[in-house]
Amino acid sequence: MGIYAETSAEIICKTEEDAKKVYDFLTKLSKEAEKEHDLNFNFNDLNLDMSYVYFDLASGRIQNLEWQCEQIWEKIKDLGVNEFNCPIMSEANNIYFSNDEDYNK
């Protein structure tokens, strides 16, 4: 059984033109994935902002999300990208604290 994970990724490009190329590429990749019912590259909230590209991505298996990010890097690294940050948040690493008295009983 897998552990759910998600990322809010940020791609920092050298120029606004490079960011537009990356955005267009990822838009095309997402549309192709949607047609083929391939959830690996079905991005949520894909946005372009000057020389930055942002998107959210999730998987029911943390290892799959790591693989997805590696595959994206391989596809975009030569498109004028300076950095690709994808901090992965996992439900396995959460801790919950509460001051609610009913919760602590």
What are the boundaries of each domain within the chain?
5-92
Q: What angle do CA 1, 57, 5 make, to 5 degrees?
A: 30
Are 51 and 16 a contacting pair, CB within 8 Å?
yes
Return the closest-CA partner of residue 26 out of 86, 89, 105, 99: 86
Asked whether the predicted pLDDT for residue 94 surpasses 60, the reply is no
- Give me the chain's average pLDDT, please: 84
Asked whether the predicted pLDDT for residue 95 surpasses 60, the reply is no
Q: Which CATH class is domain 5-92?
A: alpha beta
Query: What is the mean predicted confidence (pLDDT) over 33-62?
Result: 83
Most confident of 39-48, 65-74, 94-103: 65-74
Provide the pLDDT for residue 101.
63
What are the residue ranges of helices labelled H in 12-81?
16-35, 62-76
Provide the pLDDT for residue 1.
61
Q: How far apart are CA 69 and CA 97, in angstroms?
A: 31
Provide the pLDDT for residue 32.
81
Query: What is the mean predicted confidence (pLDDT) over 88-93?
Result: 74
Q: Give the global pTM.
A: 0.79
DSSP 14: S
